[in-house]
Chains A and B, each alone.
Chain A
């Protein structure tokens, strides 16, 4: 039982199972208006979050660096941050409670994909040994978490408007959901900007250049401009409702491509942390 990889993956699998149970309870609670099931889903998810957190800390200690080197730990920590942020935001904005149906499923999905990746520990190369990298990664994770909540409300908006599904009627009115999507897009945009800034400072510190048109940098900039256009359209063109929701979904897809797919298909400085040798 002294194998760190075994303990780490074991804890992760326990978290996956707990999140799966939480997601099922939550779906039942939200869809069939079973308050008890919904409340229980939160308790189960908190347990999952704790075990998941222990797994991440354990891995952090064993690897000697944060969860930003291999896809396994990146996806897993993204899942943790998304869930953690949701619990914080649901305290601040209780009306977003029903977004749990998407947040719980997304968290489960992210960690489930992560456990099928190579969990081998990788040592941190000297260029990644910087506080700016840590900030860069934290901001990206927060951005993804907030955008996920925004996505939930954009999807809810379209579903509520387009379908007569009964349980959707218990969601906040569509104007409120539209406002939530807008606001969380704003939050996501701020943290995406912060991530870009800290990444630029890190690049400047490591390589003497703040921008190098690296494929991930380019996609990240395009995503930032997309969200900029989304916010511009809402602010100055009076965009709202369904077309804004669809545009948000497009922006979200852009962000997912930037974060997870470009490093798979392109050679990039960012691939250094994603390379699974």
Chain B
């Protein structure tokens, strides 16, 4: 058992483990990760890098941080860290309260009464931490010996809390239009749940009551805020104000204001036979007053792709979005032949058929609120415009642990690098003491401390 402990705590094993973790993070950076990359982009990357793609698929490198082997690696790291923390507690306890090393450094003889020794060292900021018949030990900043313990303990707390968070977290994202209600249990626009988390079902229904957006004179967004109502099963309702950096905590949930928002356009399509096709077009808000926001849509029964864009203001004079201009295009998309070429694959000749997309515009119309116009074989009318906004719901545990871990790490690092402990040993010899001194770190900076203390004990010094 001791041998195993010795191996696990050997400096080389720890260093190797840190390097493997570092390497894994680097691979996670180089290889696109599925939680930050779209499926299309990931496929494209695999297509461009066929050799890496095989390895990536086999080892799950495209979801590095959720692969079993990475979790195992993290567990080993955590175990060793725990073991090391425990060993360091023992060491720090010994270093703080024990008799210390027999040989501490260059010894100087002083003929001085015990009380005088105590008062001189007290004045210099040294605390008596140990005394027996022979040895008296003083330390300045004795808690500095606990810096490494805290550093390692902090990392343990941080990693455990992060794991708890990752495997239990539930996140749901919604795009709600003003007045729209999201009922508890409805599907999310986007849902992310940890390995051990159930499907994320809100305990309440949510209605978006209002969206407000302020702009700088440069057209950049100054502030986004929304008013949402939580409606419980009994029909009771409570209103909350959300904003960027202004979250709401309620019923164990944290609710965040998302960064994306825009306008929702209710457009009524009618064909020649007066058949109606209601369409709701939801588009991201334009970034500038003279720029448009874009979106492409398909509607059942309409054999065209609908390409839409809108300007925040029909006159392009403001960003308010109160008088937007919607432009709709009906487009047919066909794959047309671009060319045929012949290439040899092994011994067999192969035909290579190249096609390209060709768009044909079947109709285009610009609509202000309440306006109608002809759009190819349809008439289109903009009936209503309202705002939509992104709202994020999170249910998680572990965040307190993560921040506690961070605080412990910082405290540990401060203890280690700002306040290195220095020891002063006094060994009883006849009618005086042999005194010596050492610093746990950065001895070069504090050498003069010992000289100054010894000077204060003069003229009784006999070196």
Contacts and interface: CB of A to CB of B under 8 A. Distances in A.
Contacts of A176: 444
Contact of A218 (B19, B28, B243): B28
A210 B399 contact: yes
Interface stretch (B125-133, B202-210, B219-227, B347-355): B219-227
Interface in B182-200: none
A122 B29 contact: no
B444 A200 contact: no
A232 B15 contact: yes
A127 B244 contact: yes
A213 B416 CA distance: 29
B83 interface: no
B26 A205 contact: no
A237 interface: yes
Nearest to B396: A208
Contact of B216 (A123, A189, A236): A123
Contacts of B413: 186, 189-190, 193
A208 B171 contact: yes
Contacts of A210: 399, 402
Interface string A193-211: 1101100110011111111
Contacts of A237: 11, 15
Interface centre among B28, B220, B245, B392 (most CB of A within 10 A): B245
Interface of B: 11, 14-15, 18-19, 21-22, 25-26, 28-29, 33, 35-36, 65, 148, 162, 171, 216, 218, 220-224, 243-245, 247, 254, 256, 259, 392, 394, 399, 402-403, 406-407, 409-410, 413-414, 416-418, 441-445
Q: Is the interface of B mostly helix, strand, loop or mixed?
A: helix
Contacts of B218: 122-123
B223 to A, nearest CB: 5
Given A197-B406, A208-B171, 20 more contacts: A123-B216, A126-B245, A179-B444, A186-B417, A193-B410, A196-B406, A197-B407, A200-B402, A207-B256, A209-B394, A210-B402, A213-B28, A213-B65, A219-B29, A222-B25, A222-B26, A229-B18, A229-B19, A232-B15, A235-B441
B282 to A, nearest CB: 21
A183 interface: yes
A169 interface: no
Given A179-B444, A210-B402, A213-B65, A221 B417 contact: no
Contacts of B223: 126, 129
A126 B247 CA distance: 13
**Ordered nearest first, which 9 A-B pairs have the shortest CB separation?**
A186-B417, A126-B244, A123-B216, A197-B406, A179-B444, A208-B256, A123-B220, A208-B394, A190-B413
Contacts of A200: 402-403, 406
Given A186-B416, A213-B36, A208 B247 contact: yes
A166 to B, nearest CB: 24
A33 interface: no
A35 to B, nearest CB: 24
Contact of A122 (B11, B65, B220, B259): B220
Contact of A205 (B14, B162, B245, B414): B245
A130 interface: yes
A207 B257 CA distance: 8
A225 interface: yes
A69 to B, nearest CB: 10
Interface string A38-81: 00000000000000000000000000000000000000000000
A58 to B, nearest CB: 19
Contacts of B36: 212-214
Contacts of A186: 413, 416-417
25 contacts: A122-B220, A126-B243, A126-B259, A179-B445, A182-B442, A183-B445, A186-B413, A186-B417, A187-B417, A190-B414, A200-B406, A204-B399, A208-B171, A208-B254, A211-B162, A213-B28, A218-B25, A221-B25, A222-B25, A222-B26, A229-B18, A229-B22, A232-B14, A236-B11, A237-B11
